[in-house]
Chain A
Amino acid sequence: MAAATDDAGDSNEMIRVVSSDGEHFEMPEAAANLSLVLRHMIEDDCADAAGIPLAVVAAKPLAKIVDYCTKHAAKSSGLTIEEAEELKRFDAEFIEVDTDMLYDLLVAADFMGVEGLSKLAVQRTADLIKGKTPEQNRETFGIVNDFTPEEEEEICKENEWAFQITKPPSRLC
């Protein structure tokens, strides 16, 4: 059984999780339930005082994820328009992170099965890519161009002459 809570509502149990680098975190059960992995662990009675070990999530992203889940669990259902707006603002600020953290969040949210956060991080990453040149994208994400000049030219040509993106054909009619 999970350890009894000391704050944040009497009936609400606190769930403990441990990062890959050994740091302990606590969040309400409702927050932990936003993670598919944690929810299954809780249902299987694997949440004990020692904490659920998350072998691939380091303390830094885990702290963010605990924040995210706690905030979203507190405002899960029956939101007023203002509350929904506030949650949106929270998300927008929450995801203003550097690309290293963004990558950690993408991987961790995917691993832990936190759907809302996955979507948020994926959308943010896609937004960073949009409207940029290949070189700008390499800079943003610290990528080394591993094409040979010939390959690069080949793809460039192919992109220009052969392929275009279209909307699904029905909309062309």
Chain B
Amino acid sequence: MGDETVLDNVLETVLQFLNSARDRCTASLVCRSWHRAESATRTSVTVRNLLAASQARVARRFPNARHILLKGCPRFADFNLLPSGWAAAAFRPWAAAFASAVFPVLGSLFLMHITVTDDDLDLVSRSLPASFRDLSLLLCDSFSSAAQVPPPLLL
């Protein structure tokens, strides 16, 4: 085993013990090998605005994400300050990504303030990994109770 491999293994073990957002962001900026190890060990990922990051980028940076929180419209959308239909289709590429299992160990998905259609839910549910347990929607709209969601996914 090369020195590099040993170092990477040790680093990943250590970084698993970092929980705070600040410490994780800091670790990701130290150097390339820390960045790699931090990415590999981050299990909870929040995307503050699903338009701000591409699903491909998130999957590439955090392939071992177990919990993902996706946020859509900002808070002021509650007050009808955004035109209707704003970011309406923004979730579709994410739904497609989840359906193609780009997060192989995903356990839970939390969607907030996002326009989610029945088709999106259908897509999401198509190819989730065996580890998946929990889908939650908070302040989301456009879906109906007719959405084809398999039994383990309780809405």
CB-defined interface of A137-172 with B at 8 Å, one 1/0 digit per residue? 110000111110000100110110111111111101
Q: Is A66 an interface residue (CB 8 A)?
A: no
Q: Is A133 an interface residue (CB 8 A)?
A: yes
Interfacial residues of chain A within 100-125, with CB under 8 A of chain B in the complex: 103, 106-107, 110, 118, 122-123, 125
Query: Which residues of B have CB within 8 Å of A168?
Result: 44, 66-67, 108
Shortest beta-carbon distance, A173 to chain B, in Å? Answer: 7
Q: Is B141 an interface residue (CB 8 A)?
A: no
Per the CB 8 Å criterion, the residue count for chain A at the interface is: 39
Determine the main DSSP class of B at the interface with A.
mixed
Determine whether the beta carbon of B67 is less than 8 Å from that of A169: yes
Shortest beta-carbon distance, B126 to chain A, in Å? Answer: 21
CB-defined interface of A3-16 with B at 8 Å, one 1/0 digit per residue? 00000000000000
Interfacial residues of chain B within 105-123, with CB under 8 A of chain A in the complex: 108-110
Q: Is A126 an interface residue (CB 8 A)?
A: yes
Query: Which residues of A have CB within 8 Å of B28?
Result: 155, 159
Q: Is A78 an interface residue (CB 8 A)?
A: no
Alpha-carbon separation in the docked complex, A147 to B33 (Å): 10
Shortest beta-carbon distance, B13 to chain A, in Å? Answer: 6
Shortest beta-carbon distance, B3 to chain A, in Å? Answer: 9
Q: Which of A143, A147, A164 has the most CB of B within 10 A?
A: A164
Shortest beta-carbon distance, B90 to chain A, in Å? Answer: 14
Determine whether the beta carbon of A130 is less than 8 Å from that of B30: no
Determine whether the beta carbon of A137 is less than 8 Å from that of B48: no
Determine whether the beta carbon of B26 is less than 8 Å from that of A137: yes
Q: Is A129 an interface residue (CB 8 A)?
A: yes
B interface with A by C-beta (< 8 Å): 6, 9-10, 13-15, 17-32, 34-35, 42, 44-49, 52-53, 57-58, 61-62, 66-67, 69, 108-110, 134, 136, 138
A interface with B by C-beta (< 8 Å): 103, 106-107, 110, 118, 122-123, 125-126, 129-134, 137-138, 143-147, 152, 155-156, 158-159, 161-170, 172-173
The 3 A-B pairs of least Cβ separation, nearest first, read A126-B17, A169-B110, A165-B21
